[in-house]
Amino acid sequence: MISEPGKPGDIAPPPTAPARGDIRPLVRRHRLSTRLWHWLNALTVLVMLMSGLMIFNAHPRLYWGRYGANFDSAWLAIGATADEGRLRIGPCFVPTTGLLGLWTDHEGRVQRLAFPGWATIPGHYSLSAARRWHLAFAWLLVVPGLLYGLWSLLNGHVRRDLAPRRAELAPRHVWHDIVQHARLRFPTGEAATRYNVLQKLSYMGVLFLLLPLMVLTGLAMSPAMDAAWPWLLDLFGGRQSARSIHFIVAMLIVAFILIHLLMVLLAGPYNEVRSMITGRYRLPRERDE
């Protein structure tokens, strides 16, 4: 195990005198900066997602290119016929009554907005309020995110804990980890103190690809930013493409969160949640092979 004992956040060697009853040791797993940023982001990303869905409700159509409005062809649209909610992606229609396009609110009224009230902030239609939430919480996403990213580069978190090593990236190793995950056989003992390669790739992907993409596509929708930084438009192929990518990446982040929560549940939610609150993690029992 690579460790520099004594520095907060580093993985400490297992204590020699384990607690009474449970002989498996508690180890330090997450440093304070990671824990703080995790919980701040849990709140911020949820607010960004839910207020973002409300903003989407104002014009539930997505386009590619520079322009796009009602008369132009949308690659994705959420709408409703007289009695059916529908999601259209390209030429394919998916019936979504009850979930998207046509649903009943908690007071029993039929609503024809794209995303339902339980998924949006606020829970009723208000573009202006959703924008207030979205654009204020964006600061909580960006400023601590930049600080955390920078701090993680400086304190070695990225290099030591997040960056996959060359050997880990070998297709055989990655495939082995995928198979182990699919069988719900998670690392035990000393290996459980480190992130496995799938974790590393997904955390690096969220931290250094998805979140920056969210912020940059968000800025590319700002007419003032487009004037000042026209490369934003070139980078994403126009404002409406940026809006589409903003939505797609948001859905990827939703997928990440769902898998993340599932993994926490499967790996032992008490131990996992505790380690993200107190930083201390009890090493999983060795499997009998």
Partner 1 sequence: MISRRRLIGSLAAGSGGLLLAGCDRLNASPRFRELLRGGEALTMRAQRLITDRGALAREYRPEDRSPVFRSNGTSMPSSAEYAAHMANGFADWRLRIDGLVARPLALSLAQIMAMPHRTQITRHDCVEGWSAIGQWTGVPLRLLLDIAGLREAARYIVFHCADDFPGARYYESIDLIDALHPQTIMAWGMNGARLPVPNGAPLRLRVERMLGYKHAKYVERIEAVASLAAIGGGRGGYWEDSNDYEWYAGI
Residue ranges that bind partner 1, judged by CB under 8 A: 46-47, 50, 55-56, 58-59, 61, 63, 66-72, 118, 121-124, 126-129, 131-133, 135-139, 219, 221-230, 233, 239-240, 243, 269-270, 273
What is the nearest approach in angstroms of partner 1 to the Cβ of residue 230?
5
**Which is it for strands 76-80 and 85-89: parallel, antiparallel or unpaired?**
antiparallel
- Name residue 22's amino acid: D
Q: Which is nearer to partner 1, 133 or 148 (CB)?
A: 133
Q: Which residues pair with 88 in a beta bridge?
A: 77, 93
b/e 266-288 (16+ beta carbons within 10 angstroms → b):
eeeeebbebbbeebebbbbeeee
- Choose between 9 and 68: whose C-beta lies nearer to partner 1: 68
CB of 28 to partner 1, least distance (A): 20
Of 43 and 163, which CB lies nearer to partner 1 in the complex structure?
Answer: 43
As a whole number of angstroms, the distance between CA 104 and CA 106 comes to 7
Rounded to the nearest whole angstrom, what is the least distance from the CB of residue 146 to partner 1 in the complex? Answer: 13
User: In the Cβ-directed half-sphere of 13, how many Cα atoms lie within 13 Å?
Assistant: 7
Instruction: Tell me the closest approach of the beta carbon of residue 259 to partner 1, in angstroms.
Output: 16
Rg (CA), the chain: 22
CB 102 within 8 A of CB 78: no
Query: Taking the complex as a whole, how short is the minimal distance between the CB of residue 177 and partner 1, in angstroms?
Result: 27
Nearer to partner 1, 88 or 131 (CB): 131
At which residue do the structure tokens 């969220």 appear? 206
In the complex, what is the shortest distance from the CB of residue 129 to partner 1, in angstroms, rounded to a whole number? 6
Cα separation, 250 vs 243, in Å, equals 11
As to burial, measured by CB atoms within 10 angstroms (0-12 exposed, 13-18 middle, 19+ buried), residue 112 is: exposed
222 φ, ψ to 5°? -85, 120
Minimum CB distance to partner 1, residue 252 (Å): 20
- How many angstroms separate the most distant Cα atoms in the chain? 71
Compare residues 38 and 165 and give the one whose CB is closer to partner 1: 38
- For residues 80 and 219, which CB has a smaller minimum distance to partner 1 in the complex? 219
| Residue with Cβ nearer partner 1 (7 or 66) | 66
